[in-house]
Amino acid sequence: MKVLVTGGTGLLGWWLAKTFYDKGFNVHATCHSKQPTGLENVSWHRLDLEDPQSIVGVIEEVKPEVVVHSAAYTEVDGCELDKARAYRVNYLGTKALALASQGVEFFVYISTDYVFDGVRGMYGEDDVPSPANFYGLSKLLGEVAVESVLGDRSCVVRVSGLYGYSPTGKRNFGINALEKLLRGEEVKAFHDQWLSPTYVRFLAKAIARIVERRIPGILHVAGERVSRYEFALRLAEVLGVDRGLVKPVSMDEVKLVARRPRDSSLDTSKARGLGIELPPLEECLRDFAVTYRKLSGME
Ligand SMILES: NC(=O)c1ccc[n+]([C@@H]2O[C@H](COP(=O)([O-])OP(=O)(O)OC[C@H]3O[C@@H](n4cnc5c(N)ncnc54)[C@H](OP(=O)(O)O)[C@@H]3O)[C@@H](O)[C@H]2O)c1
């Protein structure tokens, strides 16, 4: 089975390409500004989602049976400042990719908890999206494009706060906290922002199962609901370092360009009912610590 993973140089895309390869898929992946790192058995292609010809060119060259579209302009503040780029990459690029992929068997679009405003939390797949910022809006437009072009041959997988080790160097709140805690430095974390932190290595395995089973529709696949402060405390426990290094701060103390949802946690009961489930937070954090030590050359 030939799969094309867009965004193979990104945090999730790298783990998707590795997971599909480990499962015996013929894996093609795309990069944009970065050079591919590792994954020698994966075929790499340069893709620019702002260039329709590049999109059609990659699909015609690879002729994938499955596409997993993980590439996106993911900087939330960047999207607010450069809405035109966010619109081109996350909406128009996704729409062009969906149109070019009409001949594929199955298409997965990775979306976000930021399609919700974060007023209530624990959002289900049937809740009405209402993005609080332009990043969320551009990703929601991408969802609508994929669903309208590909219908039942597509799955929109909404995830929340991705964390994990990235061999391509992609920073995330998990790795920032882990490295500071291991150095014995203080970690400041919001006590009043809740989400469903999602561990990329296990998420990639769950997405591979969705592909194998061709599950259509919208699916929330994410970790359990915690505040960022609680997440950092649990990480400190797993690492065996002083919990006192984690300091609570309020979202209101920090001025960010784009508005952030206060509680963007996701209800994952639909996915669990289908047997698509991530392990408990503790297990994810343990694997995160072990994988970090192994892959970053500490061991
Ligand atoms: N990170 C989160 O916390 C989070 C939360 C919810 C949902 N998501 C969604 O999950 C997916 C994966 O996120 P991530 O954090 O793994 O992403 P990431 O690390 O920021 O990686 C983004 C990927 O997209 C590629 N890309 C960016 N602009 C492109 C363009 N114009 N044309 C082609 N490729 C382009 C990048 O290529 P280069 O690196 O080579 O430039 C990179 O491979 C995204 O769809 C995101 O919206 C992420």
The answer to whether the beta carbons of residues 92 and 85 sit under 8 Å apart is: no
Specify the ligand 1 atom closest to the Cα of 9: 43
- Is 271 found in the same domain as 258? no
Residues in CB range of 278: below 8 A, 6 or more apart: 198, 199, 202, 203, 206, 221, 222, 223, 268, 284
Q: Which of 4, 19, 74, 166 to mutate to test the pocket of ligand 1 (most atoms within 8 A of CB)?
A: 74
How remote is the CA of residue 173 from the centroid of ligand 1, in Å? Answer: 15
- Is 100 found in the same domain as 217? yes
- Is 257 found in the same domain as 184? yes
Element (H, E) at 59: helix 52-62
* Range 204-212 average pLDDT: 98
Residue 131 token pair = 């993005």
Report pLDDT for 22. Answer: 97
User: Is residue 135 annotated as a catalytic residue, yes or no?
Assistant: yes
**CATH number, position 94:** 3.40.50.720
Report pLDDT for 296. Answer: 87
* Range 100-106 average pLDDT: 98
- Is 208 found in the same domain as 60? yes
| Cα–Cα dist 281/193, whole Å | 17
Specify the ligand 1 atom closest to the Cα of 168: 39
Q: Which domain holds residue 230?
A: 173-193+226-262+287-295
Residue 239 to residues 11, 177, 284: CA-CA distances in angstroms? Answer: 22, 11, 12
- Give me the residues paired with residue 266 across strands: 123
**CATH number, position 178:** 3.90.25.10
- Is 216 found in the same domain as 254? no
Report pLDDT for 297. Answer: 77
- Is 186 found in the same domain as 89? no
Question: What ranges make up the beta strands (E) of the chain?
Answer: 2-6, 26-31, 43-46, 66-69, 106-112, 154-159, 162-163, 187-190, 194-195, 198-199, 217-220, 226-227, 246-249
- Is 184 found in the same domain as 120? no
- Give me the residues paired with residue 247 across strands: 188
Specify the ligand 1 atom closest to the Cα of 88: 31
CA-nearest residue for atom 8, ligand 1, is 112
Of 21, 91, 109, 135, catalytic: 135
Q: pLDDT class for 299, splitting at 50, 70, 90?
A: low
| Cα–Cα dist 107/250, whole Å | 39
Lowest mean pLDDT among 46-55, 70-79, 119-128, 252-261: 252-261
How remote is the CA of residue 69 from the centroid of ligand 1, in Å? Answer: 9
- Is 42 found in the same domain as 183? no
Q: Which residues line ligand 1 (CB under 6 A)?
A: 7, 9-13, 31-34, 47-50, 70-74, 89, 110, 112, 139, 159-162, 170
- Is 246 found in the same domain as 184? yes
- Is 122 found in the same domain as 104? yes
* pLDDT above 90 as % of the chain: 97
How remote is the CA of residue 4 from the centroid of ligand 1, in Å? Answer: 15
